[in-house]
Every structure is written in C-alpha cells, then in structure tokens.
Structure 1
C-alpha cells in the first residue's frame, strides 16, 4: 500500500519537508511524537528472549512528559546536553523524547565505549546529565578517566538495590512526576543532537545536528528506504552511532511508521527469527550484518515478508547480493552518507527514483542534495569516469545543514572549498556516464602506484567474491620502485587454512577480475580486521602495523 508521498514529486516533497522542519516555531517533540495518533504503535522493543514490549505514541508522550519534568527539576534547560549510555530499550526512547521535549540536546554514547571515550564526549559536550543502564554504571564510576568530581548527574535504569549512592533511579523520577509538560518550540535552527564522528582518521569531532536536519532524515526514510505506511521497519544499526540514531530512531519518529528495536548484539539465528516472527518488510543494516548472515551456518527462513533491504556504513561488496536474492528474497540496496549530512547518494527504493542496481555503485544523489565529483587539484567538476573528490554543492542543496565542527575552526575549514560553495565529504569516487556514483576510498586511503590511482574498495570488492574469503582490507605500503604497492589482509572462512597456493590464487583473482597492475603484492591472513565500534574497517591501523614491521625489518638488515 503506497503512501501519498510515494506518488508525490520527490522535489516537491523536499521543499515541503524543508519548510516544515525549518519553521521558526518548530517543536522537536511535537514533530517526532505528539502529532502522531496516540494509539499508533511507535516501537516494538524485542528483548533477548525475542518477546516484544510495545510502545505507542500516547505511552511515549506521557512517559516523556514525566521524565522531562524531572530533568527540568535537575536544572536541565533548553540547549543543555543530556547523554545516553544505554542499550536499545523503552527507557532509551522515553529519554530521547524527554530531552527533546525540554529543548535540550541529546549526546549519544555507544555502549561499547570504554571510560576514556565516554569521558571525552561527556566533557566535550559539557553534559549535565547522563542516563545509563545497569550494565554501564561501572564505566561512570570515578577512575583514572572519570573524575571523582564529575559535573554530570547520573540517572540509572538499574533496580533499586543496585543504584550507586550518587545516582538517581529512572523509575522513581518517572513515578514522582505528572504528565502535561508543554513541548518546547525553539525553531529549526535549534540544536537537537550533539554527536561525535567515529574518529577513524583522528580525534573524534563534535557535530551539532539542528532540528531542520530532520527534513533530510525523513526524505531519506521515504526516498532511500522507501518506507510506506504498511511497513514494519527494522534498522539493525546501533543508535549510539549516526546511522542508527538518524534512521533507526528518527526516521521512524518523523514518519510515524512502526519500528523494531532488538536488544543485545548480533546473532544470525535471532536475526532470522525476528525477521520472520515480526514480519519485517523493510530492513536496514550495515554490510557486516549481511556478510555475517551469509557466512553463518544457519539457513534463512523459507518464508520472509521482506520488501526492501538496505545497507549503509561501508560500501557493499558484490558477493552480498549474489547471496541476498536467494536467501532473503530481495537484493540489498547500497546507500551512502555521513554523520555531517545524513544520506546523500542512494540506490533508492522510492518508485520514482528506483533504478537497476549496478555492482559497486552507491546509486544516484538523493533529491535535495547536489552531489558532484570534483577534480583532485581544482574545485571544478570532474568528467565522467575520472576519480575525484566527492562533494556537495551547498547553495543547490536545500537539505544541507552542516556548517562546521564544534570549537574546531581548523578542521571545519578543511571540509569546505570554493568560499563555502563545496562541502567536501573526504571521500574519493567517480561518476559513470549513467549518473551512478561509485565509492573509491577515503582521501587518506587512496593508493598511488606507478602513477595509477587505485581505490582499495575496487580491489576489496573483487577479493571478497573469492569463495575462501570472509572479509578483506587493502592498503598501500611504500615501495622503492613504484612509490606504493598494494597489500591485502584477508580473513578466511573458518574451514580454510592459509597456504601459498591460496595467496597465488587470490592474486590471480584480482588480476583477472579487476586489473593486472592492481593485484596485492603480499597477502596477510589474519583472524579479524580492526574496526571501529560501529563496524567500519580501520585501514590506518593496518597501515601503521605494516610500516612498523617494515621499519623493523629495514633496521635489522642495515649494516652496522
């Protein structure tokens, strides 16, 4: 059953959404909760036992009004930061809406963070309150990283007998207050979220997301994900990170379409059971989830109701769709975006934007974003087929909202070119003659070998299709003759043992499947790839490791 928005011209829809969320009277709590019918299902929170707790919009409004009143009594005002260090739960959703009801700003903390990463974000955001789960309390206790005189108040969802002396109990705060607190109306420029980049290429940077960014988030929900009023949506990404928060939570709240939250970590059998039992029709997850399902010794249920499957966070390698069509019944659509923007380029599910999938392509720009590939050495569009810098033309992108990193003018300046005309994503790619965009690498991942510019993703895409490869990453190492050469780090399937024959076979696989000059000169077999907590491969860790090994080898071989 298509919604009315699916028959509407996408560019008209962008203008409508931009106007709604930029309004000077915009209220986050109203737009995300109160305007939806009270009896409508907002979320189905699925526990570790795979049983569900339902949360309606009426329930969410009442509970968040109570908690917002309690937060106000603790001195939280519009613009103040409130952090969450919680798993996916009803309490988590209530906390978010209470923060936004006050006009305060949410600071997401990933539950896999160690105390040092938590302290950096709490101090950097000047958070007044942090809401945590029972199993996260210990990370907030005074330690070498957490000061004993920390300025933030801790609220915990733990049972009464496990609440630390200095913490407040979530349930008691909720019970002590009455509903009815009015929702703040601060306008589209007011801050909504204070999030930090994942730090794959340096120290995490603060990004303040305004209410008006919700226009782009809802546009992606409708265009990229293709959400319809009859969908059951499940975004498996963790809301401690941008994609999981922007589109696993806010996409649902902006559209009012019921969604799932699954507590606990990834498990292939549980994933299939949730898809089947709760009749999920629209799924979004990181490529790692799909690759793990493909590699798991568990068969997909024979009957699934999936209508759409989407992937984001890292480029989707071709072997996933070779498997997905047979196992899930639908291909997986690759999508591309950033913490600083939301989603920019997609293989859209919306019927007016849907195109045939191309292996290795992240799709076409989403309406509301003017995305170009700029030449490497000049701020001018590159011709089709030429690798360059992926950029957004800001004046022609009504969904753009990022203006710079908080308190970091130097890093902010690096993100813009042409006197502010271009927002530089920091990614390298190319556009083909059909208008499809192709990811090549991060700026600092690109490999230049004997004059050739090689994006590691192209090589990884070929390697990943080899039957013995579970995961892989490609980096450059210095070479006296070629400047740089490629090396590959490969995680083999569990039933395969490393051998010289496999190395030679993988090298030949790349020569035949990609290019003779771009094969990896060395292949290293490892147990797992280094990744950020959100699942992104950290190639810089591999590069650093190899540089240290090569430096040690050179030192040992130099004559004394």
Structure 2
C-alpha cells in the first residue's frame, strides 16, 4: 500500500498551535531565548530543573492548580497542586539534608508509579543530588549492576521490593547508606528508614541548593546489545529541551490535561512523564496500573485527556483488541497523540486517524539525547512511517564515516547513512558514568553518531532504516528490518513482526520474520506461504522474508522496542546478553 499524505494545518487545530510555522520558527530560534524565558523568572539564581518545573508555578497564580493526578489500581484519585508539590518536594529535600546527602550524591528510586517516586525525583533535584530511576520490575541483578555502577548512596523503595530484591544485595553495595521505605510506618533498623515518618518530621521550607546549568541532575541507564548497562549523564540545562519540545512537539497549553503512559524507569517517563509537562504548568495524569485497553480508554474519557504520549507497542496492543474507541468512549477532548520508543509503522499512524479520529505523531530520540530530537508536529503534514523533521535548535543529518576519522554529510535525498546530530544542544548527554572512552566513541568531530541508520527525503523528513547492528546484508542488498516489519503488518492477520538476518553461506544472510497474529488467526503452513507471497508482492523477492516463524509474544523492552538481537540470539543459540530491560508481562 502507498500510504497517503495526511494533510495538516493550523486551521484544523482545536487550539492555536504553539508552532504555527515550522520553517519560520527554525530560522529565528535560539536556545538563548529559552534561557531568557526560564532563567528570567527569578533573576540572579542558578538553574535547577525542580525550580523551573515546580516553584516557578507555585509562586504564581497557578499555586492551586493541579500538577499531578494519580490514579491508583482501584481508581482512587490523589492530587497534588503546584503549591502542595512544592511543599512535599521541599520536605524530601530536607530529609536528604538530614541524612547528610549532598550535591552530586546519587539517589535511586525503585518503585511503581506512586506519588513517592515523583516527589523523590523532584526533591532530589532541589538538593542538587542526582536522580536515578529504576524499573520496579527489574530483578536483583540488574538493580545491583545499576546501583553499583551509579555509586548509589540512597535508595527509595517499598517494603515489598526491599525484601524481594534489595535485602540480598546490601552486603554487595557498601556505598549504599540509606534505604527509605515509602510505606513503612516505622524504621526497620539502622539505615532502613520510614520515609513517611521522615517526611512528617521535615520542614516544608527549603532553599534550593545552588546549582549550575552544567551540574549533573539525572542518570539514566541504558542497555546495549552487549556489556554492562551504560549510565548516561544529563545536566540541569536539559530542562530547556524538555520545555521547548513540550511546547512545540506536544503542543502543551496551560489548561491541558496531559498523559504520558511511560514509567519513569524509562527516560521518557522522566523527561515527559515528570519534567516536561510541569515546566508548562499543566496537569499530568499518572496511572499506577499496567496496560489494559479498557482502562486506558476509560482514562482518556474520564480524565478528559487532551494530549496523549504513548508507545508503539501499546498502540499495536490497542489495534489487536475488539474495541471501537469512538463508539464506546467519549474521546472528544483528545486533540493530539504522540508515540515514541521505536519507529511507528505506517499502518498504526493511519489506524489512529480511522479509529481515534486523530493520526498518531511519531517522534524520535534516545536516552543519550535526553529529549525529542525529530518529530511530527500538529501543523505539519504527516508522512506515515516518517519520524518527521528536527525540532528548532537541532541540526540533524545523514552522514558517512570515513576511516580517517572524518564524516561526510550526505545531502542527496533518499541515500541512507548514519543519523547524526550536531552536538551542543542542552539535553545532550555529558558522558557515560565511569566510561569516558565509550562516550568519546559516540562522536566524530562535532557530530554525535546515534547508531541509527536513516534517510532524508527531498522535503527534509527523516525515515528510520534500522539500528546499525540490525541491518541485514542479503545477496548484496542492505535490508532494514523496519521496512519488512511494516510490510508484514499490512496483512490483516498480522499484529506484530520482528525481523532478523540469519546467516546463510550462499547469500550472506537471509531475512527471517517472527510474526505475532491477531486474535482469531491460527498459525499454519498455508499462512506462512501466504505471508511470504504477500511480502514479495510488497517488497520484491530480494527483500521479502524467506522464512517465517509464528510466535505469540515477541520479546520487547519495557519501553516497547522489539528486541531483535534477542530474537537473533535465540534463533542462533548465542548468548542472550543483558536481559534487564526485557518486558516480562
């Protein structure tokens, strides 16, 4: 299928867009303008993410406006206004000071999406300490690897998670001084404290520790295909990118209800589930429960969500259920949907327009970039399958690396190469903790080499080809798995697909697809042949898969990315490597 262009303009937006003219804004944009806007609220002060996100609003007319609205498993609602959030984060910062935690010390949080996680994150920043989120579903060993590598001094967690995962690790973490239990009524021993008790005893007045724009603020661990997790360092100035992308990409307005479904254990859940919406003074919805299609639609309806930010894996799950969203739920308040985590298949973009009444806007970024870099916008035409165009202030290019250590920018449209970003933007990571050599290898001159391969069309839209280590070399062709996966997903029986290269002595690698079927579809040899023929018709014999295997659930990370390298390792009987981010649901 040739995916049709989805025409957009400011005229069909429900509110006046923050980015009415992309070209004009790119031409006039400067990060210094953001500097004036955000630092100017309190002249003479240093830059601190928490002050920009909370105190700036708590000391304004928005003091009584709801900042965070938590939905518990049983639908119980707990809200924090900006004024209340300021008081609670001040209390947490005072707790850290009482415990002797100082600027630069790492504070880890291992918890589900509960209020204590968000308060700890922002209170940590006020104390000029470093917030380090962990997925609550991590097993003991992944937790240990990150806390050990991150020099953890404080851990905020629940009593259950402590007993399940931390108690056995304490002797291996000599730097860990304090464990704060979010649900303990009393201390459990030396160094294992009741956080509610400490919070109750703390003052709600706090003077933010002096912070500089380049002080470490966030430490996000990201897993590669091999080796130990990497700790990507982000500084307080990253808030400039959080703010401007929430303005231009998410198009947040003061009265918006915003819902980012990501867990803060993933960088999206911190950058856009905590920080970015708060910088705009809007109300964020936070759901404690895991994915459930009916529950999610009910949240969109009952909370009157305006802007929704989710992941491709969630969208594909919604596509698989027998629900007619607009017939069964009132989604009239929803005006903008965004997706991130892995490339969004064209079919999913169009499904959004047909079933939700809105196309889904894909965007691209990485843990290392700290914020959205390339996006589709509310007023810009969508080309389904494209990641969009760079945000104002970001220079992106397709480059080729040469053996002499230089890069060549490829200006010819349609040619694939390394997706690279010109360094120097505020949310660029400042290093991998304790691994300077690995960090240096990410750059060639002024260019950050992302590890993704992409192309750029004649109008400046970028298109994902694949991870550099995912590219399949077959019979002299370079095949991007995403292209094959998207073609297979056009077949009415296919829910998801993951594609790998399988070594073959004749052609180098053959293309093999692992396919998850939609409900009601049954795997069979006949269906395999049908899918191979379907893909050949779409892609040609050289690119189409030569082997297909049916699999109920494809392995994914908790952020929704299909783990192709795990599919390949299992297919070839190779070591599976780091599985700490593997989705276990």
Both structures adopt the same fold (TM-score exceeding 0.5): yes
Tell me, in whole angstroms, the C-alpha distance in 2 between the residues paired with 1:356 and 1:13.
Answer: 24
SS of residue matched to 2:364: strand
SS in 2 for 1:35: helix
Tell me the distance in 1 between the aligned counterparts of 2:478 and 2:521.
32
2:350 alignment counterpart: 322
| Alignment CA distance shift 1:240-1:174 (3 Å) | same
For 1:557, the equivalent position in structure 2 comes to none
| Residue matched to 2:580 | none
Task: Tell me the CA shift for residue 185 of structure 1.
Answer: 2.7
Where does residue 443 of structure 2 map in the other structure? 416
1:379 to 387, 407, 411: 407
**1:32 aligned partner:** 53
Return 481-490 or 199-208, whichever deviates more: 199-208
Q: SS at the partner of 2:387?
A: strand
**Structure 2: gaps of 5 or more residues:** 1-13, 575-585
State the match for 2:429 in structure 1.
402
- 2:500 is the counterpart of 1:478: no
The offset of 1:319, in angstroms, is 1.9
User: 1 CA distance for matches of 2:231 and 2:384?
Assistant: 34
Matched residue, 1:98: 123
Deviation (angstroms), 1:448: 1.3
- 8 Å CA contact 1:85, 1:130 repeated in 2: yes
State the partner residue of 1:12. 29
TM-score (norm 2): 0.88
Aligned residue in 1 for 2:383: 358
Q: Assess if the C-alpha contact under 8 Å between 1:29 and 1:101 holds in 2.
A: yes
Aligned residue for 2:29, secondary structure, equals: helix
Give how far 1:322 is off. Answer: 3.0
User: Given the two structures, how large is their TM-score scaled by the length of structure 1?
Assistant: 0.92
Give the aligned partner of residue 556 of structure 1.
none
Distance 1:467 1:509 in 2: 11
Q: Are 2:526 and 1:501 equivalent residues in the alignment? A: yes
Residues 315-352 of structure 1: CA distance to partner in whole angstroms, max 9, x if unpaired? 00122123212321111000000111121110122xxx
Contact kept in structure 1, 2:307 and 2:334, CA below 8 Å: yes
Q: Is the 8 A contact 1:112 1:533 kept in 2?
A: no
Q: CA deviation at 1:361?
A: 0.5
Which aligned pairs between 1:166-205 and structure 2 lie closer than 5 A?
A: 166-205=191-230
RMSD: 2.2
Q: Deviations over 1:217-239 (max 9, x none)?
A: 11111111111222110000111
1:371 shift after superposition? 0.2
Which residue of structure 2 lines up, in the alignment, with residue 111 of structure 1?
Answer: 136
| Deviations, residues 212-271 of structure 1 (Å, cap 9, x unaligned) | 111111111111111122211000011111111111111112111111000021111100
Contact 1:29 1:184 in 2 (8 A): no
CA distance in 2, matches of 1:308, 1:375: 36
Deviation at residue 41 of structure 1 after TM alignment: 1.3
SS in 1 for 2:218: strand
Q: Supply the distance in 2 between the matched residues of 1:391 and 1:67 (Cα, whole angstroms).
A: 39
2:388 is paired with a residue whose SS is: strand
Cα drift, residue 119 of structure 1? 0.9
Alignment map for 1:285-300 (pairs within 5 Å): 285-300=310-325
1:133-532 paired onto structure 2 within 5 Å: 133-143=158-168, 147=172, 151-160=176-185, 166-300=191-325, 301-304=328-331, 305-341=333-369, 342-349=371-378, 354-375=379-400, 377=402, 379-382=407-410, 383-394=412-423, 398-399=425-426, 401-417=428-444, 420-532=445-557
Q: How many residues align?
A: 541
- Contact 1:119/1:146 (<8 A) preserved: no
Which residue is equivalent to 1:558?
Answer: none
**Structure 1 unaligned spans of 5+:** 550-560
SS of the residue corresponding to residue 548 of structure 2 reads: strand
1:194-229 CA-partner distances (Å, limit 9, x unpaired): 111133454211111101111111111111111122
Corresponding residue for residue 43 of structure 1: 68
Equivalent in the alignment of 2:95: 70
Q: Distance in 1 between matches of 2:466 and 2:213?
A: 34
Pairing partner for 1:547 from 552, 556, 572: 572
Cα distance, 1:314 vs. partner? 0.5
